[in-house]
């Protein structure tokens, strides 16, 4: 039986919780993934920061946007400038759903599909050991199916 550990990415993008938001966004862009895993000062898994979390914090509330034709770039730039130097721990998702490396792929797939999660942190004894993304799951299952007799 294929387990999460068999398909997980063992080298995920990580950032320390005291890194700046700007540093985290640069890492998201450089790694070309939609999120980064956040570690505390002792290197233990603490949470997740996604590009969606960052974007939601930069956007003004829907109620404040009066004119739909307004491009709003000034507001976005101002908010981005104000937020860039703040630490990641102010924005990350704490208590995100995780999975253990010895769990089945069926359980991982069910969690991801039912909770609309793109990437699961794989955590063992409080330490991040990898991540399992939808793409890892799909490719792994297709390759395993191809190799089956």
**20: domain CATH number?**
3.10.580.10
- The most confident of 26-35, 80-89, 97-106, by mean pLDDT: 97-106
In percent, the amount of the chain with pLDDT more than 90 equals 53
Domain residue limits at 99: 4-147
Mean pLDDT of 70-76: 60
How far apart are the C-alpha atoms of 132 and 118, rounded to whole Å? 9
Say what percent of the chain tops pLDDT 70: 82
pLDDT of res. 71: 57
**In the predicted structure, residue 90 carries a pLDDT above the cut 60:** yes
Tell me the pLDDT band of 8, cut-offs 50, 70 and 90: very high
- C-alpha 98/C-alpha 128 separation (Å) is 10
Q: What's the pLDDT at 83?
A: 74
pLDDT reading at 18 higher than 60: yes
Res. 124: pLDDT tops 60:
yes
pLDDT in the model for residue 139: 84
DSSP 62-115: GGG---TT---HHHHHHHHHHHTTSBGGGTSEET---B-TTSBHHHHHHHHHHH
What is the number of structural domains in the chain?
1
**How far apart, in Å, do the first and last CA atoms of the chain sit?**
15
- In the predicted model, is pLDDT for residue 147 greater than 90? no
């Amino acid at each position: 039986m294929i387990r999460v550990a068999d398909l997980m990415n063992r080298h995920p993008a990580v950032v320390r919780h005291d890194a700046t938001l700007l540093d985290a966004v640069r890492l998201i862009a450089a790694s070309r993934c939609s999120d980064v895993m956040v570690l505390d000062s002792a290197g233990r898994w603490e949470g997740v920061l996604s590009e969606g979390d960052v974007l939601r914090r930069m956007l003004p509330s829907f109620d404040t946007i009066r004119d739909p034709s307004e491009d709003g770039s000034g507001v976005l730039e101002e908010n981005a400038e104000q937020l860039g130097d703040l630490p990641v721990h102010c924005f990350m998702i704490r208590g995100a759903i995780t999975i253990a490396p010895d769990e089945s792929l069926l359980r991982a797939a069910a969690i991801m599909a039912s909770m609309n999660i793109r990437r699961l942190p794989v955590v063992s004894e409080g330490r991040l050991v990898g991540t399992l993304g939808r793409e890892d799951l799909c490719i792994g299952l297709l390759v395993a199916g191809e190799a089956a007799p």
